[in-house]
């Protein structure tokens, strides 16, 4: 069974947004009197559900999250995106060489995904096939998020490939039984099955072509 559907994460996989998103968290918490390190946030919270991140940081630093925190954070991220967001290096080259159906599957809200793709000129590769955990009510690392999207798209898990940049997302793909490619620039250790690590998006077309066909 050949690979006919590619399921991409967004932040850190298609668009180089992880630093910007976590910079916004740092700036928001600075207003609460808490000093956070952006690199530490990226390392420890990349790919996780926003509500869980805020809950952990609130508890750790003993500060309540005000009601306006999340909308102010979203506005701050949007402004940072407008000024600084770029696509991941070589990702558009890879996308242009991949004939398969493509979709985005993200833990982020749909409006944020669409904004990022528009700014980076990548929306043309995905059309309406943009899926947010907020709408699906399934969040990575729950494998059901990818199984649900595959069903919506009318494909079998064996026909899909997941492309992710975080352990959280890779866990979701691996545990769904889907061939998963891990854009692992920081050489994170894992023992997940059905996962292939890589470091350059230019290699993506050949990696997908080399994946064994499911029977």
- 158-208 pLDDT, tens digit per residue, is 999 999 999 999 999 999 999 999 999 989 999 999 999 999 999 999 999
The DSSP bridge partners found for residue 104 are 8, 130
Calculate mean pLDDT across residues 21-45: 95
The domains found in the chain, sorted by start residue, are 5-16+86-210 (3.40.50.1000), 18-84 (1.10.150.240)
The DSSP bridge partners found for residue 101 are 5
Confidence of residue 214 (pLDDT cuts 50, 70, 90): low
Q: What does the alpha-carbon distance between residue 208 and residue 205 come to, in Å, rounded to a whole number?
A: 5
- The whole model's pTM is what? 0.92
Strands (E), 2-97: 5-8
pLDDT given for residue 215 in this prediction: 53
* CB 26, CB 37: distance < 8 Å: yes
The DSSP bridge partners found for residue 106 are 132
**C-alpha dihedral (173, 175, 179, 180), degrees to nearest 10:** 40
Q: What does the alpha-carbon distance between residue 197 and residue 195 come to, in Å, rounded to a whole number?
A: 7
pLDDT given for residue 37 in this prediction: 96
């Amino acid at each position: 069974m050949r690979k006919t559907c590619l399921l991409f994460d967004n932040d850190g996989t298609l668009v180089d947004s992880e630093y910007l998103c976590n910079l916004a968290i740092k700036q928001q918490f600075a207003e609460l009197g808490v000093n956070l390190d952006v690199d530490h946030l990226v390392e420890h919270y990349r790919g996780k559900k926003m509500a869980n991140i805020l809950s952990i940081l609130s508890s750790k630093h003993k500060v309540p999250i005000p009601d306006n925190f999340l909308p102010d954070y979203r506005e701050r991220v949007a402004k940072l995106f407008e000024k600084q967001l770029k696509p991941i290096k070589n990702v558009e080259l890879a996308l242009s060489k991949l004939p398969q159906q493509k979709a985005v599957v993200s833990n982020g809200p749909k409006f944020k995904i669409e904004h990022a793709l528009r700014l980076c000129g990548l929306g043309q590769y995905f059309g309406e096939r943009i899926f947010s955990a907020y709408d699906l009510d399934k969040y990575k690392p729950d494998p059901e998020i990818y199984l649900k999207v595959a069903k919506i798209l009318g494909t079998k898990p064996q026909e899909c490939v997941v492309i992710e940049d975080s352990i959280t997302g890779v866990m979701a793909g691996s545990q769904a039984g889907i061939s998963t490619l891990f854009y692992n620039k920081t050489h994170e250790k894992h023992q997940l099955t059905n996962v292939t690590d890589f470091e350059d998006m230019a290699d993506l077309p050949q990696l997908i072509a080399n994946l064994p066909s499911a029977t």
